[in-house]
Structure 1
Amino acid sequence: MPGSAPVKSPDDPSAASSAPKTGSGPGVSYVEAGEGDAGQRIDNFLSRIIKDVPRSLIYRILRTGEVRVNGKRAKPETRLVEGDRIRLPPIQRKTDEERAAERSAPSRSLREFVTSAIIHEDRDLIVVNKPAGVAVHGGSGLNAGVIEALRAARPELKELELVHRLDRDTSGVLMIAKRRAVLRELHSLLRERDMEKRYLALVVGRWPFGTKTIDLPLKTNMKSGGERIVRVHADGQQAITTFKPIQHFGKLATLLDISLGTGRTHQIRVHAAHAGHPIAGDEKYGDRERDAKLKPYGLQRMFLHAQSLSFERKGVKPFTVSAPPPPDWQAVIEKLKQDLK
């Protein structure tokens, strides 16, 4: 069946396109209803021929009288007849870049989830108690993470940047700088190791070493598919981690307080695994058999939590911020304590 037959616009007598003019040009365009369009509602017809615009725009141009059929204003329920001449107003179409930006924009639920996790804010910093399972930034198949959600929720803050990072499955303190000058200052503190970072971790098995500092270099390798794996290796970068037991849960697990002397990728996870007691629930460096024994207690994810950050800045009073472990973490610890009794 014949389709819609475009005709020349009187505003552009040279126009002789083979399709309706529905782009971002300045002129009005016209299209003729073909045999196959007979009986179709004008709103459905417009939605078919005007691509990549919301249906709300279709109804707006109908409501305001910008669409006319044979010179008369058309209503959404107007039925077409073969040969009807339809006037189309100029329509601003979205560019490919705009459509791509919309697709990658953080969802409303993610924006609300992240902003509800803010535990501190001042003129220089935002601190979030990052939930486990939320990435700090987009990438690797994810459109958005914490930083993108905050930028979308707080567009007036033009220089928001992550001060440091946490693994996606690690919960806890995550710091974001509001200004680049603050970011540079805090990065300097990190390089000079003048920022104290403390973690809580539940490791599998009974930690036998007491307080122990592991000083072993770490090297990052990329496996097939782009997966990042870190190993203890003589050619790696220096990495220092101090583990201090807080509570033993029989032979099942141990709750540890951890402080970092350096900030290497996956440092705590790799050092704990190298010591023979990987983080509970760590799918990359962990022990599945020993994890299975913790499943009845509610173990469903990696049990690593960034507990606190402390540092001193020039001209600013000492800063410390801490974040409590999330409810699912606390529930597992309580069940282990009950079992121990």
Structure 2
Amino acid sequence: MKHKILPISIIYINEDMINQRIDNFLKKKFKNVPKSMIYRIIRTGKIRINKKRIKPDYKLKNGDQLKIPPIKIKCRKNNNISIQNSEKKLLNNILYEDNYLLIINKPSGIAVHGGSGINHGIIESFRKLRPLEKYLELVHRIDKETSGILMLAKKRMALISLHEQIRDRKIKKEYIALVHGLWPENLKKISQPLLKKKLNNTQKKVLVHASGKFSETHFRIKKKYSLTTLLTAIPITGRTHQIRAHTLYAGHPILFDKRYGNHNLDLKIKHKNKLSRLLLHANSINFIHPKNGKNINIKAPLDLNLEKYLNALV
């Protein structure tokens, strides 16, 4: 088993991460790191929150700045050629860039960051591609299987500004989703609380539950096909897997969703089409530029395979 040193990272705690003990948070994030090492780096003060030492039982708060030192993790053998090809593809997928922001059209199947068994992600790739950038952090996350808009901050002030906009729900995101069945014309909003549940040692699932966090998604029908419906989904809140969980709750799961989908329906469709990726795409985002205050709207085109797939539907 090979090892890899993860670089220093800074994580800004959002509302989906709060109330977790720091030791449990780190154990989940770095599953390949021995627990003894995690407790050692906490005890020796290498883990800092808001530039201060903390104890293992410290509970994360919204807005906390968590600084993690370089960590040695076990990793599988990488296909270096595959990684290099992916990195070149990312450069071609840049939608917007200035001195403060970098926005890309993330391909489906690529994680946003390494850790938890994933050796290489978007943020690691761009830090390698842009070695002269002194600061480069993820503004938000997007599921590995989902394609579309992903924002990176190139300055700390930009990250803080955009996180404030996220907390104040001033950033507007829009997704495209292809779901099974014919979506009801009158179903335009789902407001159902979502709760994270652990299914086994590794996988978690978000389900509608009375004790979950308030979650709301708005939906618009773009086009109805014979067996499926193309939707516009607008998440009002930003919960993990929110759109995927809400469409499942409505009885219309997203096509080829291995965690929240309908495997039997997917199998029938796979016989006709080769495409089998999650059919969820973050296609637009609207926000206020952190420096000049201008209203910015970015759109991410569908990849050619997905566009061909939708055009072939009847």
Q: Tell whether the structures are fold-level matches, with TM greater than 0.5.
A: yes
- Equivalent residue letter for 2:296: F
Higher gyration radius (CA): 1
Q: 1:297 to 1:100 in 2, by over 3 A?
A: closer
Does the alignment pair 1:241 with 2:217? yes
Helix, strand or coil at the partner of 2:110:
coil
Partner of 2:303: 326
- Equivalent residue letter for 1:181: M
What's the % identity of the aligned pairs? 41
Partner of 1:263: 238
Does the alignment pair 1:157 with 2:133? yes
Number of residue pairs matched by the alignment: 239
Does the alignment pair 1:294 with 2:269? yes
- In the aligned structure 2, how far is the partner of 1:122 from the partner of 1:153? 16
Partner of 1:118: 94
1:37-48 equivalences under 5 Å are none
Partner of 2:164: 188
> Is this contact kept in 2: 1:298–1:332, CA < 8 A?
no
Q: CA deviation at 1:313?
A: 4.1
Instruction: Name which structure has the greater RCO, CA cutoff 8 Å, separation 6+.
Output: 2
- Equivalent residue letter for 2:242: Q
Q: CA deviation at 1:212?
A: 1.1
Q: 1:254 to 1:100 in 2, by over 3 A?
A: closer
- Equivalent residue letter for 1:309: I
Helix, strand or coil at the partner of 1:225:
coil
Helix, strand or coil at the partner of 2:149:
strand
Partner of 1:133: 109
Q: CA deviation at 1:222?
A: 1.9
TM-score (norm: length of structure 1): 0.66
| Residue number among 154, 157, 172 corresponding to 1:178 in the alignment | 154
Q: 1:98 to 1:205 in 2, by over 3 A?
A: closer
Does the alignment pair 1:215 with 2:191? yes
Helix, strand or coil at the partner of 2:246:
helix
| Residue number among 206, 218, 229 corresponding to 1:254 in the alignment | 229
Q: 1:141 to 1:238 in 2, by over 3 A?
A: same
Per-residue CA deviation, residues 157-201 of structure 1 (Å, 9 max, x unaligned), is: 121000011100100000100011100110000010000000000
Identify unmatched segments of 5+ residues in structure 2. 1-70
Helix, strand or coil at the partner of 2:117:
coil
- In the aligned structure 1, how far is the partner of 2:131 from the partner of 2:73? 19
Identify unmatched segments of 5+ residues in structure 1. 1-96
- In the aligned structure 2, how far is the partner of 1:150 from the partner of 1:140? 19
Per-residue CA deviation, residues 82-125 of structure 1 (Å, 9 max, x unaligned), is: xxxxxxxxxxxxxxx99989x88984333222222212111111
Per-residue CA deviation, residues 247-294 of structure 1 (Å, 9 max, x unaligned), is: 0111x1000011110000000000000000000000111011221232
TM-score (norm: length of structure 2): 0.72
Partner of 2:43: none
Q: CA deviation at 1:140?
A: 2.5
- Equivalent residue letter for 1:329: L
- Equivalent residue letter for 2:195: K
RMSD: 2.2
Q: 1:140 to 1:99 in 2, by over 3 A?
A: closer
